[in-house]
A and B are shown apart, each in its own frame.
Chain A
Amino acid sequence: MRPGYDIPELLERFKKGQVSAAARLITILENGGIDAEAVLDGIFHMTSNAYRVGFTGPPGAGKSSLIFRLTKKFREKDKKIGIIAIDPTSPFSGGALLGDRIRMQALSDDPEVFVRSLASRGSLGGISNCTDEVTDLMDAFGKDLILIETVGVGQSELEIAEKAHTVVVILVPESGDGIQAMKAGLMEIGDIFVMNKADHKDAELAAMEIEDTLKLKKIADDAWRPRVILTSAKEDRGTGEFAGLIEEHRVYLEQSGLFLKKRRQILFSRVKNALMDKMERRLRASESVKNIMADRMDDVYEGRLSPFRLVHELEKIVTIK
């Protein structure tokens, strides 16, 4: 049997630092609806600019393993860490196999590290729809640094760029020609490019190729120039330097004033996206839209009415002043 929940009581326990309360509140955020809104209302004022780092890259590149190594490094500096690990939901069964914890198990006895696995649940951007809210919750829970691992991505799953202060793209030498294909998408969002599996014979060459690609990009003199670094998560090589680069990027953002700007951008796009979602849901549920479509689609089928013309008619019943 699943126990019911009482949001005010959970929020009380959350404020006292109880992990079980934080975990249940995340579940409520994941499930969406009015309860999720109440949870966000209850914690949003407690968020305090925790630093958000997004990790993306093809499946099997070593994202989870590197996050594990990085967490160890940041823990040496006493940073409190939240990890959000996202894996895909099956579009067929609606189920999901969330396996990122396998590489992070040695963290589960550290009370200052909170790992939560999320299923993407139908979101197509490589993250879950509730990623922002879960990040807020970990922030409000007192985490200094929140590491967000996207589902292994290819070209189009770039939403993480709208959520994170620093975007890390993790690649491996085997990506080979795959890197070419990714240039248009991933290559444009990374602040740090990691060539993992440095023990591989082609690793250095592959890292140089990335450097070359990045050189083609026009970057202002005082802007952040994306960096490339070789690591081996397996042998824990290059990971200290990697942690240092993330810190360097954070300092850059703060000193250039971009940190605040980025925070504003993140919140601005959140409000916009949430509004769009809500409007879309209302439109989908609208009886009058359904009725007009039931009436008029035949005209479209028969070629008497163009799709755009019907949309004009439908627009008339939507009133936005």
Chain B
Amino acid sequence: MEVFLEWWESNPITHLFLSPTIMMQAFPVILRAFPVSLFFGLGSFILGIPLGLALAFMKMARTRFARLPATIYVDVIRGTPLFLQILLVFFGLPLFPFWKSMIQANPWMNQAAIFGISWSAYLRGFLILSLNCAAYLCEIFRAGIQSISRGQMEAARSLGMTTPKAMAFVIIPQTVRRILPTMMSEFILLFKDTALLAAVGITEMVLRAREVAAARFNPSAYVLAAVFYLMVTIPLGRVVANLEAKLAISEGRGGPPRPPVDTETETTIDPDHPAPLPERARA
């Protein structure tokens, strides 16, 4: 065993990328940063959902006054690198007078909050990540809602439902099922992109890995960080695949039908009512 370990650490490839000693040292450091990455990813994603939904409805609005700003916003956000947007917000926002006065009025904002990251960094980080995520979600929502056939809205309206009711009980539930896999893929992308926050000094996993790598002159810590990312992305990717397969069944695109649930219809039939039609067409 010791011989093997010696060989492992002396071999340049295994030593440089998979050194157990370095990884053991890096493990607690990266583990402590793991919730930071998850927090930024999950938090921004949740904030991005209502924003994205609002943008989607704006893009589908009848008036150009609503459509135009949403279209420009989505095009700009999706057409520029997230890295650039992060730099712009992190170094640009503090130059604004309103930001300066806000920090002056609330000095605690520059103090460290949970995980040793300042409130003002959290604010900017969540702001740009959720704004970015909202633009992508907007397109997912819009495509999802528009993929529901027009007849669904007509059927709901013909039953006397208002447009908001039809949206809430007929269109959105169908949309959610249809776009859930795409949304989860979007979350995976966002979660990986939290690594870009390292550039503005937020101590998420990649920045912590870089600290260890620089101190020990050995990139094994990066490999360990990669493993942490994969622990989230691979299971989620599996979930997405399963969801897609299930969706294909429930929408009637193959697969066995769900077994019907038996009901106690006998007891609820009104005796005063006409009997069921004697003959039925069967498929």
Q: Do A and B bind each other?
A: no
